[in-house]
Structure 1
Amino acid sequence: MSAIGRSIARFANACVKRLPSAPPPPGGGETKREPRAIHAAISSPWRIYRIYARPGHLLMRDERGHILNLGVMKGSEPNLTYRLFARDLQGKGFATRTQLLDDIARRIEAGEVSKELLSLPEWDQPMGADLDRGTHTDVSMKLNR
């Protein structure tokens, strides 16, 4: 570094030292995080969900990471059927789990279900293997306010 660069650095350092220090946080110096009433993802009108097809079950992960019980899946490939708990929507005749999930995603994006997804029951059984390793699809939906 040149002599001019060192002089500028010393001058800048001296200026920074003269700035007032930050006031101590209230409550004796311990920083305490206040829980936020509304999370940014929850306040957005968009909802992002991941839907999973498990043997006999359809699960959904919401934007907060909660696993919800979306519905049931019956049959075996190439003749799968489903029934959603939201509005009792049904579909049948799917050759693969991927096609079944794509149909559910299409119906969610089309607005056939919306606020019903917010009141689904939580999945209360152990997950077993990582859900994201199995068949899944992502879907986004804009809530009407």
Structure 2
Amino acid sequence: MHPILQGYIKAVAVMKVLERCLARLLNVVVQLLPRARDPERGAVRPAPSRSRAANPMQSQWRVYRLYAADSRLLLRGETGRVICIGAYAGAGPALTYTLGTGAQSGPWASLPVLLANAAQQLTAARLERTLAQPGEQVAVSADLDRGPYLDVSLFLRP
């Protein structure tokens, strides 16, 4: 028999012995592990507890869309209701706005910059109750999304 073939046969035999030893060792280790308790027959397993924040519908964060249309600042909520929260005036680099909360600011160079500042004012103001109450819905044109707008995330405090 060729010496290389003899070496291969010895290596295979050694591997089989090592495989059996490892299998026996793992079998002993598995037997030493504690057994899982079997549930009693007829016993109802409790449902896994879910945190309140796991459901996105119960999140306290709400996303609103802030629009600038027809000299008004409009806010559309998750339900699609559009309310007027203020007004803006001017043109060019002299745009100003007034929110219903009494906040005034300006001058601003463009409507997107004005909307960004108004969004900061909305985030700082506590508008939870105002936004949650059913208010006067504003009739707006269907192409409201074609004008300047900004999405705003507001945290609603309980």
Given that residues 103 and 121 in structure 2 are in contact (C-alpha distance below 8 angstroms), is that contact kept between their aligned partners in structure 1?
Answer: no
SS across alignment from 2:86: strand
Measured on the aligned residues, the alpha-carbon RMSD in Å equals: 1.9
The partner residue of 1:58 within 73, 95, 104 is 73
The partner residue of 2:107 within 80, 89, 93 is 93
Structure number with higher helix proportion:
2
CA 1:140–1:122 in structure 2 vs 1: closer, same or farther (change >3 Å)?
Answer: same
- Structure 2 letter corresponding to 1:104: A
CA 1:120–1:54 in structure 2 vs 1: closer, same or farther (change >3 Å)?
Answer: farther
1:83 partnered with 2:108: no
CA 1:119–1:84 in structure 2 vs 1: closer, same or farther (change >3 Å)?
Answer: farther
Q: Output the CA distance in 1 between the equivalents of 2:150 and 2:62.
A: 14
**1:76-115 Cα deviation digits (max 9, x unpaired):** 1211111111x21111101100011000111222x32322
Unaligned runs of 5+ in 1: 1-39
Q: Output the CA distance in 1 between the equivalents of 2:73 and 2:134.
A: 12
2:143 maps to what in 1? 130
Provide the identity percentage: 35
Given that residues 66 and 122 in structure 1 are in contact (C-alpha distance below 8 angstroms), is that contact kept between their aligned partners in structure 2?
Answer: no
TM-score, normalized by length of structure 1?
A: 0.63
Unaligned runs of 5+ in 2: 1-55
Given that residues 68 and 120 in structure 1 are in contact (C-alpha distance below 8 angstroms), is that contact kept between their aligned partners in structure 2?
Answer: no
Structure number with higher strand proportion:
1
User: How many residue pairs get matched?
Assistant: 102
TM-score, normalized by length of structure 2?
A: 0.58
SS across alignment from 1:78: helix
Using the TM superposition, give the Cα deviation of residue 120 of structure 1 relative to its aligned residue in structure 2, in angstroms: 7.3
Q: Output the CA distance in 1 between the equivalents of 2:142 and 2:111.
A: 18
